[in-house]
A and B are shown apart, each in its own frame.
Chain A
Amino acid sequence: MKFSYMIPRLDFTAAGKASTDTKRRLTQIGLPIAFIKRVTIAMYEAEMNVAIHGGGGEASVEVGTDRITAIFSDQGPGIPDIDLAMQEGYSTASEEIRNMGFGAGMGLPNMKRNADELRIDTEVGKGTVVTMVFHIEKGAS
């Protein structure tokens, strides 16, 4: 099963739509609760990153019987130093965004913690593609 979402730039009312809808789909398929929780949290973080830093973009999700692959892509500024970006508490979010309760610098670390595989392809000035893979354990549901 494949599905995708548009992620509008800085639209906080729409934020969380992709992760919430994916959660509903995964619940219908009968995946374990803890697994769905991991996917939901990681996807929400990625979604917010695209909305806040990436200037909007797209999420596409593929659900197979053994894995879920979620790809978030944007044409934003890119990440100049991935190691730095992966550090907890590091954020380039503006003061305004922080005042709204976002930009605590937990996004990428949280994604890494919840996804089984995390790949970041980024080019400064071109954009970023974040790929997360979640392994479905056999007989887990």
Chain B
Amino acid sequence: MTDRKDRMEFVHANSQFHSVLLDPNLCVGCTTCIRYCPTQAIRVRDGKARIFEERCIDCGECIRRCPKGAKKAVSDPLLLMGGYECRVALPAPSLYGQFGTDFTTGEIFEAFYSLGFDEVFDVAWGAVKATEITREILKLPGPRPRISSACPVIVRLIQQRFPSLIPNLMPILPPSEIAAMEVRRQLAGISGKIGVFFISPCTAKVTAVRMPLGFPTSFIDAVLSFQDLFLPLKKAINANRSKPPARKEHLLQRMEGLEPGLGWARSDGELEALHIDNAVTVDGIGNVIELFEAIENDAIDGIDYIEALACPGGCVGGPMAVENAHVARTTMRIRSQSRGVEKAEAPSPTVPVSASSGIGAKTESVPAEKSLAIYSWSEPILPKPVQVLDNDMAKALMMAEEIDILLEKLPGIDCGACGAPDCHALAEDIVRGMASFEDCIIAARQKKE
């Protein structure tokens, strides 16, 4: 989708990358997106939506809600593959949900080879690893409930809206990074430049690879979207079905036993893999916010772990997914539970996950305690206090009082016509000097009468 970049106006200021962009030619300024943005990061100005970059957490909710298709997901272009000698595809577990169960994972693997990837490695392996580490961490004392950090939107949401929950985040790399790290470990000996391509439905991952959370640099070189790869993969599968490709030797082998990791594609999958009591799954960013509010009130007892996913249904509901999220969810349930799908046909050989995969002496599996050290965060996650009105508390307090006074004068119907999501946001914008009272058309009309 990035080929649109040059044709599209960047509405974000350039200091920070975001994978959610607006196409001003399609935006009609209808204010739908501003109401659904969970961080109130969008305003309509001069008839077009504008995103405040410091507030945007790349959740993609506006992409999902925009009735005009004016919000775009920006991922990396396929042509980046040209810059590497050894191209590794890292399919997110949810990729397999884009294809019905009449397509085997083996066929999808083969299709990647046909598209010019030299190696394929399942992110599901990283999810299996993350499950092991999570189990280890939950044995240790520490804040409860622990919150999964696999979804980058959740981490950014907590930084911004729930900073008191930062210590509750699982301090480990997400499955995609764990998998990418493993790929680099296994391919360490080869000559030629290795390019690791994460195949993802997630806008926030595009950003997270550029600006990782909890570690300095990503092990992934580029994020390719399901949208860009779905048709090429499907075509390749069909071509391979009518004319089976010549078998090539690959350094990384397909693994068996990744079903629990594949389950991570949908909400509940992480908990099903973990097998722990007292855990909760929550999906959809509005539901996540509601639960986190309750946790901050200390209103929820006895929960050890929360699998929180920003997209409805989990990663299968990602903004760059192709298949209907509900259909994909069901497909993933089947794929992560039954192995009947894979038994029917096995176009490429597999090895058990316990034996790990790959080449030579590097294949011994790493014990869980050691994994903890390898895959833990190396940098702290810091709060992002974008809501603070002023760094001087006395001044901020005065501004808060002004907001209350303004709110009494505003109609309180949250119509959005001023371009802010609700009356409170307008009052805040006015106090911050970013809007004026006259922006409220209802108040202006009352004045006239």
Contact = CB atoms under 8 A, between A and B. Distances in A.
Nearest to B394: A65
Contact of B404 (A3, A31, A44, A136): A3
A1 B296 contact: no
Interface residues of A, number: 30
B385 interface: yes
B385 A30 contact: yes
B164 A63 contact: no
Contacts of A141: 393
Given A16-B299, A34-B164, A29 B404 contact: no
Contacts of A30: 385, 388-391, 393, 396
Interface in A14-64: 15-16, 19-20, 23-25, 27-31, 33-34, 36-37, 40-41, 44-45, 48, 63
B298 A44 contact: yes
A27 B39 CA distance: 14
B9 interface: no
B214 interface: no
A40 B400 contact: no
A65 B395 CA distance: 10
A16 B389 contact: no
Interface string A54-90: 0000000001010000000000000000000000000
27 contacts: A1-B400, A1-B401, A3-B404, A16-B293, A16-B299, A19-B297, A20-B296, A27-B385, A27-B387, A27-B388, A28-B387, A28-B400, A29-B388, A29-B393, A29-B396, A29-B397, A30-B388, A30-B391, A30-B393, A30-B396, A34-B164, A37-B164, A45-B298, A63-B400, A110-B298, A136-B393, A141-B393
Contacts of B396: 28-30
Majority DSSP secondary structure for residues of A touching B? helix
Contact of A28 (B164, B297, B388): B388
Q: Considering the complex of A and B, which 6 residue pairs feature the smallest CB-CB distances, nearest first? A: A44-B297, A30-B388, A41-B298, A29-B396, A37-B164, A1-B401
B414 to A, nearest CB: 15
B301 interface: yes
Contacts of A24: 387
Contacts of A63: 397, 400
B164 A1 contact: no
A97 to B, nearest CB: 14
Interface of A: 1, 3, 15-16, 19-20, 23-25, 27-31, 33-34, 36-37, 40-41, 44-45, 48, 63, 65, 101, 104, 110, 136, 141
Interface string B94-131: 00000000000000000000000000000000000000
B297 A20 contact: yes
A104 B299 CA distance: 11
A34 B167 CA distance: 12
Given A29-B397, A30-B391, A41-B297, 10 more contacts: A3-B404, A19-B297, A20-B296, A27-B388, A28-B389, A29-B400, A31-B393, A33-B163, A33-B164, A65-B397
Majority DSSP secondary structure for residues of B touching A? helix
B397 A1 contact: yes
Given A30-B396, A33-B164, A34-B164, A40 B390 contact: no
A30 B383 CA distance: 12
Interface in B347-399: 383, 385, 387-391, 393-394, 396-397, 399
B301 A101 contact: yes
A36 to B, nearest CB: 7
B44 to A, nearest CB: 23
Interface in B234-265: none
A28 B395 CA distance: 11
Contacts of B444: none
B297 A29 contact: no
